[in-house]
């Protein structure tokens, strides 16, 4: 699973929305930077000033000390060439910041819910076994799968050894990537995978649920009984390994991740957080109820159960009480918005509804289908934005910004409901002429 560069690669699919953060958080652990300052955006292609093969030769002894045999190291580095585009991605600092409502509307839409329900039915037998073995609900496991790789459809195109080898020799955080580089070789050495299966994100996450190699070594399981831990070709192994990750992260069987709540008028939530947990009795004393009006304590919860409060869009947006299971999800890719996406998708897969409190915006987010519609309008207007895939990148945002200016809208570059409505209205007028 990754574990991750916060918000970014782990979520292979969201990596296309959001580029890497300056601070790398992988597998829930911060990766120390080589410098104290944030690297400035790269404006051109990275050019190495050192010998890649010389670097690999110098790393050989470290690899052997980590458990990689000399023959294995030589085999996989002999003809290895660098890909310096990964350094550009490592250093890239996006100008665009994704609002929480855009993030969630793209990751938890009707399309992903419908496909997720199909996957639940298709893999029911395996998921029942996974749930029995690890105590993690099938819907939660499938939700991770859906967010991480769109159920296996988006897994990454980078040859892992090439990407990790390059990151081991160039740029920031070389020591971290060397560990992942060697871990990838140990996976090959063990026989779990073949080299042609090792494709993933530029930072090294791969497989159905986007594990980093070191996380793969630590938590991947052989659930289909073929003797190999294969999170690339075996859905059973991938789903079980995801559940194992969550269990090891502290998942509590039979308890919820959390739920949306209503805050009584006049009650301040300043200073509240996921980490600042209080008993449900304490929250009840403050007048909190579930967003649907029912009591906080239901099911296996008790008055002594502790929960923290998160408000990803402030007090005027949806507010949630979250339990230890949310922390387990959070550890998969250390970002609350990511955790909320997984949690919300899992609820939707169980038949739950969207959040009851609207996001505090006059330009709500769009689904992937709606984003594809926006992109189609842009193409018809003559913009070269690449594929019409519902993934809003820099080219789409630039085109949207120009169209917003033309239509008298605030040129934010966001693919929100306002620009979609404006396009639809314009098209309707043209059809009436």
Instruction: Decide which of 268, 303, 322 is a domain's last residue.
Output: 322
Average pLDDT, integer, range 294-303: 96
User: Is the predicted pLDDT of residue 72 greater than 90, yes or no?
Assistant: yes
Query: Is 134 contained in some domain?
Result: no
Do 265 and 223 lie in one domain? The reply is no
**Residue 393 pLDDT exceeds 60:** yes
Q: What are phi and psi of 346, to 5 degrees?
A: -60, -40
The reply to whether 44 and 67 lie within a common domain is yes
Q: What is the mean pLDDT of residues 149-169?
A: 95
pLDDT of residue 15: 40
Same domain, 218 and 280: no
pLDDT at 34 (0 to 100): 34
For 304-345, write each residue's pLDDT tens digit. Answer: 999 999 999 999 999 999 999 999 999 998 899 999 999 999
Residue 23 inside a domain? The answer is yes
Q: Which of 248, 272, 293 corresponds to the end of one domain? A: 248
pTM to 2 decimal places:
0.88
Residue 230 main-chain phi, psi, to 5 deg: -120, 100
Which value, to the nearest 10 degrees, does the dihedral of the CA atoms of residues 131, 134, 137, 138 take?
A: -50
The pLDDT of residue 167:
97
Chain segment 112-143, per-residue pLDDT in tens: 999 999 999 999 999 999 999 999 999 999 99
187 and 311 assigned to the same domain: no
Q: Percentage of the chain surpassing pLDDT 90?
A: 82
My answer on whether 186 and 76 are in the same domain is: yes
Round to whole Å and give the CA distance between 371 and 417. Answer: 9
Q: Which residue in this structure is represented by tokens 């959390």?
A: 258
When divided into structural domains, the chain yields a total of 3
Q: Are 221 and 305 within one domain?
A: no
d(CA 33, CA 407): 44
* Pick from 1, 428, 424, 431: nearest CA to 211: 1
What was the pLDDT predicted at 40? 33
Q: How would residue 416 be classed by pLDDT, with cut points 50, 70 and 90?
A: very high
Give the Cα separation of 81 and 359 in Å (integer): 47
Domain-located, residue 119:
no
Domain contains 133: no
Gyration radius from the chain CA atoms: 23
Mean pLDDT value across residues 203-232: 97
Q: What is the CATH number of the domain that holds 191?
A: 1.10.8.350
- Report the greatest alpha carbon distance in the chain: 74
- Alpha helices, DSSP H, located in 249-323: 280-285
Residue ending a domain, among 199, 223, 248, is: 248
Q: How high is the pLDDT of residue 94?
A: 65
Given a cut of 60, whether residue 90 has pLDDT beyond it is yes
| Per-residue pLDDT, 431 | 86
- Residues 172, 302, single domain; the answer is no
Residues 325, 329: Cα–Cα separation, whole Å: 6
2-49 residue pLDDT tens: 444 433 344 444 443 333 332 333 444 444 333 322 233 333 465 565
β-strand partners of 29: 26
Same domain, 72 and 189: yes
Cα gap 428→81, rounded to integer Å: 53
Count of Cβ atoms closer than 10 Å to residue 222 Cβ? 16
The separation between the first and the last C-alpha atoms of the chain, rounded to the nearest angstrom, is 53
* Torsion angle of the four alpha carbons 220, 226, 227, 233, in this order, in degrees rounded to the nearest 10: -40
Distance of CA 65 to the CA centre of its chain: 32
Query: Cα separations (Å) of 370 from 88, 288, 419, 420?
Result: 31, 35, 11, 8
pLDDT of residue 20: 30
What range defines the domain where residue 419 resides?
368-432
206: in domain: yes
Query: Rounded mean pLDDT of 262-280?
Result: 95
Same domain, 275 and 198: no
Considering only 17-26, 106-115, 414-423, which range has the smallest mean pLDDT?
17-26
Q: Are residues 84 and 170 in the same domain?
A: yes
**67 in a domain, yes or no?**
yes
Look at residue 116 and tell me if it is in a domain: no
pLDDT of residue 10: 42
In the structure encoding, which two tokens stand for residue 369, read together?
Answer: 């289908």
What average pLDDT does the structure give for the chain? 89
- How wide is the angle at C-alpha 149 spanned by C-alphas 97 and 223, nearest 5°? 140
307's enclosing H/E stretch is strand 306-310
φ, ψ of residue 63 in degrees (nearest 5)? -60, -45
209 inside domain: yes
DSSP per residue, 33-98: -SSSSPPPPP-S-----S-HHHHHHHHHHHHHHTT--HHHHHHHHTT----THHHHHHH---S---
Tell me: do 182 and 310 sit in the same domain: no
Residues 203 and 269 in one domain: no
């Amino acid at each position: 699973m990754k574990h991750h560069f916060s918000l970014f690669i782990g979520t292979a699919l969201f990596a296309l929305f959001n580029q890497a953060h300056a601070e790398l958080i992988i597998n829930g652990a911060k990766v120390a930077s080589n410098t104290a300052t944030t690297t400035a955006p790269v404006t051109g292609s990275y050019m190495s000033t050192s010998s890649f093969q010389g670097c690999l030769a110098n790393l050989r002894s470290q690899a052997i000390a980590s458990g990689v045999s000399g023959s294995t190291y030589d085999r996989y580095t002999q003809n290895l060439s660098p890909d310096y585009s990964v350094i550009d991605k490592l250093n890239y600092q996006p100008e665009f910041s994704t609002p929480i409502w855009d993030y969630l509307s793209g990751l938890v839409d009707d399309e992903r819910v419908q496909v997720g329900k199909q996957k639940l039915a298709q893999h029911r037998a395996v998921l029942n076994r996974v749930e029995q073995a690890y105590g993690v609900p099938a819907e939660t496991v499938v939700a991770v799968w859906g967010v991480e790789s769109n159920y296996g459809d988006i897994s990454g195109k980078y040859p892992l050894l090439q990407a990790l080898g390059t990151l081991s020799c160039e740029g920031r955080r070389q020591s971290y990537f060397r560990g992942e580089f060697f871990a990838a070789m140990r996976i090959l050495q063990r026989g779990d995978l073949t080299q042609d299966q090792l494709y993933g994100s530029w930072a090294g996450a791969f497989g159905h649920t986007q594990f980093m190699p070191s996380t793969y070594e630590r938590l991947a399981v052989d659930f289909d009984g073929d003797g190999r831990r294969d999170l690339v070709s075996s859905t059973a192994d991938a789903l079980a390994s995801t559940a194992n990750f969550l269990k090891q992260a502290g998942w509590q069987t039979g308890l919820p991740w959390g739920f949306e709540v209503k805050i009584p008028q006049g009650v301040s939530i300043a200073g509240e957080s996921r980490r600042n947990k209080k008993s449900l009795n304490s929250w009840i004393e403050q007048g909190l109820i579930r967003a649907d009006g029912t009591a906080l304590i239901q099911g296996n919860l008790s008055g002594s159960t502790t929960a923290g409060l998160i408000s990803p869009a402030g007090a005027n947006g949806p507010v949630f009480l979250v339990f230890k299971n949310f922390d387990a999800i959070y550890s998969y890719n250390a970002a609350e918005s990511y955790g909320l996406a997984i949690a919300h998708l899992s609820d939707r897969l169980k038949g739950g509804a969207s959040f009851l409190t609207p996001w505090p915006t006059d330009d709500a987010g769009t689904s992937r289908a709606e984003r594809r519609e926006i992109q189609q309008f842009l193409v018809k207007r003559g913009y070269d934005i690449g594929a019409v895939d519902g993934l809003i990148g820099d080219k789409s945002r630039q085109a949207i910004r120009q169209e917003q200016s033309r239509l008298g809208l605030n040129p934010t570059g966001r693919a929100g409901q306002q620009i979609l409505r404006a396009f639809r209205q314009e098209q309707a007028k043209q059809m009436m002429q």
